[in-house]
Amino acid sequence: GGVGKTTIAKAVYNLNAYQFETSCFLPNVRETSNRKRGLLRLQETLLSKILGGSSLNVSTDDQGINVIKERFQCKRILLVIDDVDQLEQLEKLVGDHDWFGLGSRIIITTRDQSLLTNHKVDSTYEMKRLDRKEACELFSWNAFKRNKPNDEYADLAKHIIHYSGGLPLAL
């Protein structure tokens, strides 16, 4: 973690949500689904946000699946499912392509590429760590408001960049 998956997904969501009939950003799916009735709560949150705040109580995961399929298949939706770590989460929150209306977009962030393969997603984008030059430039813009550090801070910047391991959020 730490390469900025959630940050990028949130930015994409914020920039594009207006183009859709309705939208939802579901954060911390891994953490939430590990709680008691967590997947059920996530389904209820998703339904509430997409259907405009109406509180829908679902008593089982399977009932949640049926309501999502029934209510979403005619809607053009932008949905971000953040920090997925189990196939079951995808199966119960986004299921198959026919759950959503034509033109819908589902963005999934995960550390586990195999989940995306097993769920047969259309396309993937793998976030990379920054190389040394990119890391130096990002750090310098944040720390010094310029593209590289002054000579007096060059060694310190080198150590910080090495310590961060190319993770943008650490810089």
Report CA torsion sign: 132, 133, 134, 140. positive
- Burial degree of 25 (CB within 10 A; 0-12, 13-18, 19+): middle
49 in any annotated domain: yes
Report residue 105: phi and psi, to 5°: -130, 130
Greater pLDDT, 152 or 164: 152
81 in any annotated domain: yes
41 in any annotated domain: yes
Report CA torsion sign: 89, 33, 4, 6. positive
Q: Are residues 99 and 51 in the same domain?
A: yes
104 in any annotated domain: yes
* List of residues 6+ apart from 86 with CB closer than 8 A: 30, 33, 115
As given in the structure block, the two tokens for residue 151 are: 């000579």
Bridge partners, residue 105, by sequence: 78
Report residue 81: phi and psi, to 5°: -110, 110
Q: Are residues 107 and 136 in the same domain?
A: no
Tell whether pTM > 0.85.
Answer: no
Mean pLDDT estimate for the chain: 87
| Residue pLDDT, tens place only, 91-142 | 999 998 889 999 999 999 998 888 888 888 888 778 777 778 887 888 888 8
Structural domain boundaries enclosing 45: 5-118
Residue-level pLDDT at 101? 94
Q: Are residues 112 and 137 in the same domain?
A: no
124 in any annotated domain: no
Residue closest to 52 by CA, chosen among 75, 35, 69: 75
Greater pLDDT, 139 or 74: 74
Residue-level pLDDT at 155? 85
Q: Are residues 71 and 113 in the same domain?
A: yes
127 in any annotated domain: no
126 in any annotated domain: no
Q: Are residues 104 and 137 in the same domain?
A: no
Q: Are residues 111 and 61 in the same domain?
A: yes
